[in-house]
Structure 1
Amino acid sequence: MLLAGDIGATKTQLAVYAPDAGARKPIVQAEFQSANYAGLEALVQEFTAGIEHPIDAACFDVAGPVIGGQARLTNLSWTLDEKSLQRSLGFGRVLLLNDLKAIAYAVPHLRPDELHTLNAGKADPQAPIAIIAPGTGLGEAFLIWSGHEYVACSSEGGHADFAAADQTQSRLWSYMVDRYGHVAYERVCSGSGLPNIYDFLRDTDHAPEAPAFAAQLAKAPDRTPLILQAALEDPENALCAATLDIFISILGAEAGNLALKIFATGGVYLAGGIPPRILGPLDDGRFMRAFLAKGRFADLLGNVPVKVITSHAALYGAALYGLDQMARQSS
């Protein structure tokens, strides 16, 4: 049996898979709040305590870079090591991979009903494919064709320098430099980045902040869900509406940047926790206007398919990867 896990800064999903059933059919699955645990070992031990099936191997995707079988989550104070996990959990093998690499691994296997199209375009067969995923942080990855299959490649492009696309974003950049010193895309294009945009708009008097909403934000352990909900459901909350508008424009611009950098004529896929929640605003043209605003290369990008992944692709990708590695080891 394989234990697969999607280890995020906010939530962790674990599931057990049988090789003959495949990655679409977990035997048992559960979700946990990551911050409630001191480390992955305690969480896994709690999950597996009631499972009768013996676990032969585990594959965990993590929200952070994986180097030499070791990973430190970018937005959670966990440090993971394949060999240490193998010893402490008693599994025959433990694999770690970046969460965006797991999503990339899943992309060629996704069904049409797991995708929402923003731009139909026309994919070039065997061309590079880009993945950009705003969740708690901002993840990026890509796929390249090896000659007989796609190879998933991880990236830390979400931590590259933020480039302002208009005057408002220039003022946002200046505001963020004063706050953080270095401004990466993740600071303004992620769940953790949304409150930064909101603070900028509030502090520069873009619109008045309602006292009742300010009180709600002050009590919230995480302001992002409140800001998103108000942007989507409260037309009178001008600050939240403007926050989401800037967020979508930045996301569209960076998705276009990524597409140009790897020449992703095979398609661009939006993943992570935020895009499925804002399909309406993504559909209204704001995202694609920013995506296409690349001067002489607008026509090229207009032919690139752009889709939102609406399923939990990271866990699926981790299961696919883990089962594939088990099969290769036994062959």
Structure 2
Amino acid sequence: MTPSDSLPCVLAADVGGSKTLLRLAALDDGRPARTLNEARFDSRAWPSLTAMIQHFLAGWPRPYAACLAVAAPVESRRLELTNLALTVDADEIETACGLPQVILINDFVAVGHGIEALKPSDLLTLQAGQEKPHAPRAVLGAGTGLGEAILVWAGDHYQVLPSEGGHVDFAPTDEEQIGLLRFLMARHGHVSYERILSGAGLVAVFEYLADRWPVSPGLRKAVAEAGAAAVSRAALDDGDAVANQALELFLRIYGAQAGNLALTAWAAGGVYLAGGIAPRLAQRFALSGFLAAFRAKGRYRDALARFPVHLVLRPDVGVMGALQVAARAVSRPSST
């Protein structure tokens, strides 16, 4: 593709504690139409997001607007990521990169906007339920951290409300989970759902069980070196009993918190599971106790059974959502 200085386009970024995805897309009738350039960067390998964007845009047309989705609460135009000492300064990026407009949003707000751009084939439906048109939706996902957002209908599209619900108190539901809570309290004091529903959290669940059951030195070493990926491989590929138990406990707690958010939002429009971990465990979700834990809400069990639950298979849904926000800023500046 040959760059053109006059080509109308927008820039999107999904900036996480582990990786950053950048995408430059041409506009057609005010909407992102085709990708001009895209790249994945190691977030830890760059001194600043500004330098990363400058490198990415070299030789390409200047975007009309940029939307940066960041893994942190967005309360100003300058912030630091929750799980990485990386500062994001929207005004600095505007000036250094020659961008007319830079918008900062939370990464799961971006995921929420991306939901509307998905095709049916981009979803794995875990529970069909009975979707109510224009009813609230909920989105959550475990990755480097635990992201959450709530979607409410705004007349012609869903407005996405940011949330830091991943940091609410972990509520164990059985004796095994009470033991896990005590184990994590000794480490952290306060134990949020993110301490469990994240890459580091899956490792912590494994370590809790490995203190109680025999684990080979080789697996302990692999987990110490590769983290959650080693736990998943040992469970899915090798059939290791403790890794399997860790994955099952992780998914039951995931289901419980998804049900909590569904009740909080009354998500009759659907619950969407995104984030880096869910697509890699897609088939395991359906076979685990995830849905049983999702529905286990006492008198509201039948209500939870009516809420659709979908797993988002596209790992780039956050970038897709950020492109939607950037395009809307160009076509309708007051609606962003």
TM (norm. structure 2) is: 0.93
Give unpaired runs (5+ residues) of structure 2.
1-8
The answer to whether the Cα contact below 8 Å between 1:65 and 1:72 also exists between their aligned partners in 2 is: no
| 1:149 Cα deviation from its structure 2 partner | 3.1
Moved beyond 6 Å, runs of 4+: none
Q: Compute the displacement of 1:193 (Å).
A: 0.7
Residue 65 of structure 1, CA deviation: 0.8
8 Å CA contact 1:62, 1:71 repeated in 2: no
Q: Is the Cα contact below 8 Å between 2:203 and 2:223 reproduced in 1? A: no
Judged with a 3 Å threshold, the aligned counterparts in structure 2 of structure 1 residues 189 and 18 are, in CA distance, closer, same or farther, namely same
Q: Does 1:170 align with 2:173?
A: no
TM-superposed deviation, 1:214: 1.9
SS of 1:193's equivalent in the other structure is: helix
Measured after TM superposition, the shift of residue 156 of structure 1 is: 0.4
Whole-angstrom CA distance in 2 between matches of 1:47 and 1:41? 10
Cα 1:96–1:196 change in 2 (3 A) is same
Which residue pairs with 2:193 in the alignment? 185
The CA distance in 2 between the partners of 1:24 and 1:182, in whole Å, is: 45
C-alpha RMSD of matched pairs (Å): 1.6
1:285 Cα offset (Å)? 4.5
The correspondence for 2:274, drawn from 243, 263, 271, is 271
Note the 1:4-15 alignment, pairs <5 A.
4-15=12-23
> 1:245 maps to which residue?
248
2:3 maps to what in 1?
A: none
**Residue of structure 2 in register with 1:33 after alignment:** 42
Deviation at 1:147, TM superposition (A): 3.9
Q: 1: CA distance between counterparts of 2:140 and 2:334?
A: 34
The answer as to whether partners of 2:149 and 2:161 remain within 8 angstroms in 1 is yes
* Kept in 2: contact 1:24–1:316 (CA 8 A): no
Q: Which amino acid aligns with 1:223?
A: G
Q: Which amino acid letter does the alignment assign opposite residue 216 of structure 1? A: A
Counterpart among 216, 220, 223 of residue 222 in structure 2? 216
Match of 1:58 in 2: 66
Paired residue type of 1:153: L
Residue 24 (structure 1) shift: 4.8
Per the TM alignment, residue 54 of structure 1 is displaced from its structure 2 partner at its CA by 2.5
Task: State the shift of 1:96 in Å.
Answer: 0.7
Residue type of the partner of 1:65?
A: P
Q: 1:255 offset after TM fit, Å?
A: 0.2
1:201 pairs with 2:209 = yes
Per-residue deviation, 1:77: 0.7
Any idea what the Cα deviations from partners look like across 1:207-244, whole Å, max 9, x if unmatched?
211112223234x1x41111111111111x22211110
* Structure 1 residue 55: Cα displacement: 2.7
For structure 1, which segment, 105-114 or 311-320, has the greater mean C-alpha deviation from structure 2 after superposition? 105-114
Q: Distance in 1 between matches of 2:60 and 2:138?
A: 39
The DSSP-based 3-state class of the residue aligned with 2:68 is strand
CA offset at residue 114 of structure 1?
Answer: 0.6
Any idea what the Cα deviations from partners look like across 1:276-313, whole Å, max 9, x if unmatched?
11112111151100001101100001010000011121
Unaligned 5+ residue runs, structure 1?
A: none
In the superposition, the TM-score normalised over structure 1's length comes to: 0.95
CA distance in 2 between partners of 1:266 and 1:126 (Å): 6
Given that 2:197 and 2:254 are in contact with CA atoms closer than 8 Å, whether structure 1 keeps it comes out as: yes
Q: Is the 8 A contact 2:123 2:313 kept in 1?
A: yes
> CA offset at residue 56 of structure 1?
2.9
**Aligned: 1:140 with 2:148:** yes
Q: Which residue of 1 aligns with 2:4?
A: none
Aligned counterpart, 1:85:
93
Residues 16-165 of structure 1: matches in 2 within 5 Å?
A: 16-20=24-28, 22-49=31-58, 51-165=59-173
C-alpha contact 1:138 1:190 (8 A) present in aligned 2: yes
Letter in 2 for 1:122: Q
Percentage identity across paired residues of the two chains: 40
